[in-house]
C-alpha cells in the first residue's frame, strides 16, 4: 500500500516507519521535510491543495498533533488550531481522495480526565478536561459527522505511549529515579495503563492489513501497572534497587494540601496525577483484530523503553 503519515517525524511516526516500511511505501506529511530512511518523500501541508504534487494514496495515518507541554506554557487556542484544525484539513482531503483507510490518533484524554468506574471503555460518554482533550474530541466529532460507506475510518484513543525517543512524563520520572531520589508515595497502590510502542505498531499494522470495522478503539497494553511497579521496573532496567518510601498516605495528603496553599511542587493536583488510577480496556481492538493478547507484555515494553533511555 501507499501510506501517507502526517507528523511522521515525531515520536510515534519515527517508530511506525520501522514497522510499516518493511511492507509498504510510506509518504510523510510534516512541517519539516528532512530525508528519512524508509520514507519515499515528505510532502508539506500546502501540497494537499496541489493534486499534481500528491501521490496516489491508499491509507492515511494522522499523527500530527500537539501533546507534550510538560511546562504548561501553550495557549489553549494552539491545541484547537493543531489538533482540531489539522484533523479537519487532512480528513477533508481523505474524503475526496481515492484512499480507503483513515487512522486518526486521538487520545484517551478525549474521553476522560479520570476513569469513571474501574476501566475506561469505548462506551464512556466523553468528558474531556483541558484544551488537549477538548481539541481531540472536537476532531473526533468532525470525523464522526462525516461518515463514509465505502471507506474505513478508525479513531484511536491510545493511553500514554512509550518507546525509544519518548519525550513525555515517563522521561521525567526516569530522570528522578536516575538521580537516586527516593519515591515517597509508595503507600499509594494505583493502577495505570500504558501502551508500548511495539504494541501500538502491531495494532496499526493490523488495521492496515486486515478488514476491520470502522469505529473508536482504545489502545492499551494487556496489563496495568502501579507507579511502584513502574519505579521497580525502571530500577530493574538500570540494575539498581528501588528506593521506595512508604510514607503514610494520610500524611502525604495533608502535605499536598499545604503545598496547594503555599504553591509548593507537591500539591493536591500533582499528588492526584501521580497516584491516580487510569485503567484502559483494550478488549475491543483485540477482538476486532482477532488477537488473543498484545505483542509484548507491559513490563517487557517498559524495560525496552527504559533501556533505550540509557542508550541516549
- Cβ neighbors of 108 (< 8 A, separation 6 or more) are 120, 157, 158, 159, 218, 278, 280
Q: Per rule CB under 6 A, is residue 225 in the interface with ligand NAP?
A: no
Kindly tell me which residue out of 161, 185, 201, 237 binds ligand NAP, with binding defined by CB under 6 A: 161
User: Distance (Å, rounded) from C-alpha 298 to C-alpha 303?
Assistant: 9
The residue (of 64 and 185) whose beta carbon lies closer to ligand NAP is 64
Strands 215-219 and 195-196: unpaired
Q: Per rule CB under 6 A, is residue 160 in the interface with ligand NAP?
A: yes
Q: Which residue has the cell 510538560?
A: 70
Residue among 256, 248, 178, 204 nearest 63 (CA) = 204
Q: Which residue is nearest to ligand NAP, using beta carbons?
A: 10
Subset of 78-97 contacting ligand NAP (CB under 6 A): 82, 86
Kindly tell me which residue out of 97, 107, 267, 275 binds ligand NAP, with binding defined by CB under 6 A: 107
Q: In angstroms, what is the minimal distance from the CB of 67 to ligand NAP? A: 4
Residue among 163, 191, 189, 169 nearest 280 (CA) = 191
Q: Per rule CB under 6 A, is residue 198 in the interface with ligand NAP?
A: no
163: alpha, beta or left? (left if phi > 0; alpha if psi -120 to 50): left
Total of residues contacting ligand NAP (CB under 6 A): 23
Q: Per rule CB under 6 A, is residue 133 in the interface with ligand NAP?
A: no
Site string for ligand NAP, 9-48 (x = CB under 6 A): xxxxx----------------xxx----------------
Amino acid at each position: 500500500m501507499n501510506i501517507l503519515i502526517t507528523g511522521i517525524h515525531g515520536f510515534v511516526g519515527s517508530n511506525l516507519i520501522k514497522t510499516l516500511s518493511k511492507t509498504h511505501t510510506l509518504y510523510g506529511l510534516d512541517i519539516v521535510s528532512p530525508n528519512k530512511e524508509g520514507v519515499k518523500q515528505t510532502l508539506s501541508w500546502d501540497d494537499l491543495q496541489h493534486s499534481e504534487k500528491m501521490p496516489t494514496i491508499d491509507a492515511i495515518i494522522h499523527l500530527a498533533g500537539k501533546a507534550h507541554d510538560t511546562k504548561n506554557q501553550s495557549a489553549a487556542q494552539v491545541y484547537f488550531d493543531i489538533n482540531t484544525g489539522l484533523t479537519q484539513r487532512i480528513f477533508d482531503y481523505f474524503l475526496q481522495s481515492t484512499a480507503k483507510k483513515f487512522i486518526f490518533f486521538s487520545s484517551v484524554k478525549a474521553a476522560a480526565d479520570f476513569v469513571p468506574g474501574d476501566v475506561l471503555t469505548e462506551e464512556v460518554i466523553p468528558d474531556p478536561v483541558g484544551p488537549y482533550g477538548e481539541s481531540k474530541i472536537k476532531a473526533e466529532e468532525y470525523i464522526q459527522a462525516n461518515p463514509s460507506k465505502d471507506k474505513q475510518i478508525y479513531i484511536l484513543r491510545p493511553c500514554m505511549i512509550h518507546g525509544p525517543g519518548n519525550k513525555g512524563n515517563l522521561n521525567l520520572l526516569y530522570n528522578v529515579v536516575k538521580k537516586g531520589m527516593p519515591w515517597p508515595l509508595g503507600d499509594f497502590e494505583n493502577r495505570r495503563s500504558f501502551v508500548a510502542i511495539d504494541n501500538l505498531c502491531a495494532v496499526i499494522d493490523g488495521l492496515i492489513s486486515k478488514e476491520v470495522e470502522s469505529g473508536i478503539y482504545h489502545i492499551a497494553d494487556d496489563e496495568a501497572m502501579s507507579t511502584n511497579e513502574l519505579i521497580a521496573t525502571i530500577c530493574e532496567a538500570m540494575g539498581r534497587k528501588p528506593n521506595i518510601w512508604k510514607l503514610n498516605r494520610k500524611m502525604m495528603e495533608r502535605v499536598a494540601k499545604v503545598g496547594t496553599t503555599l504553591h509548593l511542587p507537591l500539591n493536591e493536583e500533582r499528588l492526584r496525577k501521580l497516584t491516580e488510577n487510569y485503567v484502559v480496556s483494550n478488549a475491543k481492538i483485540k477482538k476486532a483484530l482477532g488477537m488473543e493478547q498484545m505483542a509484548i507484555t507491559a513490563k517487557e515494553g517498559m524495560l525496552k523503553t527504559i533501556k533505550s533511555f540509557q542508550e541516549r
